[in-house]
Amino acid sequence: MAITAAAVNELRKMTGAGMMDCKKALTEVGGDFEAAIDLLRKKGQKISANRADRDATEGAVIALASDDNTTGVIVRLSCETDFVAKNADFIALAEAIANIALENKPADVDALKALTIDGLPIGERLTEEMGKIGEKIDVSKYAIVNGASVINYIHAGNRIGVLVELSLPVTEDIAAAGKDVAMQIAAMNPVSVDENDIPADVKERELEIGREQARAEGKPEQMIDKIAMGKLNKFYKENTLTKQSFVKDGSMSVEAMLKGIDGGLAVKSFSRIALG
């Protein structure tokens, strides 16, 4: 198939790889973007860590926690332009919807849109608002987290919202540690809490990429699997929350930081929603 310049440029923006490398990769895999990313990685290309947010659209993300910190919600209210996203009325609407979600604890986006705001179902209120401003507005994502303690965090002018579920009831120290972990999640975008949460197919994919990289480097065949496992462990350290280096003190992992607060303190789950 013919690979367009637009497709090549999109892959370049997604990965940070060179234009010619992107074109070759897309051509080789028939235009499949994810396969092209894997191919670039197998050939040793350094891929941008920010590609997960490549399709970022505008809007506001609101993360709230209950007064007792046992429940948290994140709502992403999307719009088309930065002009609308920064409007005080738009942000106030996003906050109002998030408060309704926290109060009523709906199971999903559809249930949230069925709840009422200003006497109207939220879905109808959004339609009414679209008629006023002339662009699409929607509750595009919603998450709810319950636990012994749930800490909320909003990053970068309502562009990212995070909830962290911790294993122990909230105290001042635990709340501070949870906020640090939430900031870590916002900045580093881990794929899971730890390696146990990573699906088997993802692990095998990383191992295969490691094997291909080792072969491309000319490593002996008998060492391929060992090298691939080392690369998988590096993947865990870079991409799983508890194994990541703590951003405030790179001498320790996130897990070690939490154990320093309390031996029983651990992350049970997290939710991260960004514009996109």
- If DSSP codes are grouped into helix, strand and coil, which group holds residue 238? helix
Structure tokens at 176: 């501070």
pLDDT digits (tens, 9 = 90+) for 122-138: 999 998 888 777 788 89
CATH superfamily to which 1-54 belongs: Ubiquitin-associated (UBA) domain (1.10.8.10)
Check whether 62 has a pLDDT greater than 50: yes
Domain 58-192+252-274 has CATH 3.30.479.20: yes
Which ranges constitute the DSSP H helices of the chain? 5-15, 19-28, 33-42, 82-85, 88-104, 109-114, 122-133, 172-188, 200-216, 224-239, 254-261
The position carrying tokens 């609101």 is 62
Residue 21 has a pLDDT of 87
CA 174/CA 181 separation, integer angstroms:
10
Domain boundaries, the chain: 1-54, 58-192+252-274
Check whether 56 has a pLDDT greater than 60: no
- If DSSP codes are grouped into helix, strand and coil, which group holds residue 148? coil
Check whether 144 has a pLDDT greater than 90: yes
CA 59/CA 141 separation, integer angstroms:
11
Stretch 55-64: mean pLDDT? 83
Check whether 47 has a pLDDT greater than 70: no
180: left (phi over 0), alpha (psi -120 to 50) or beta: alpha
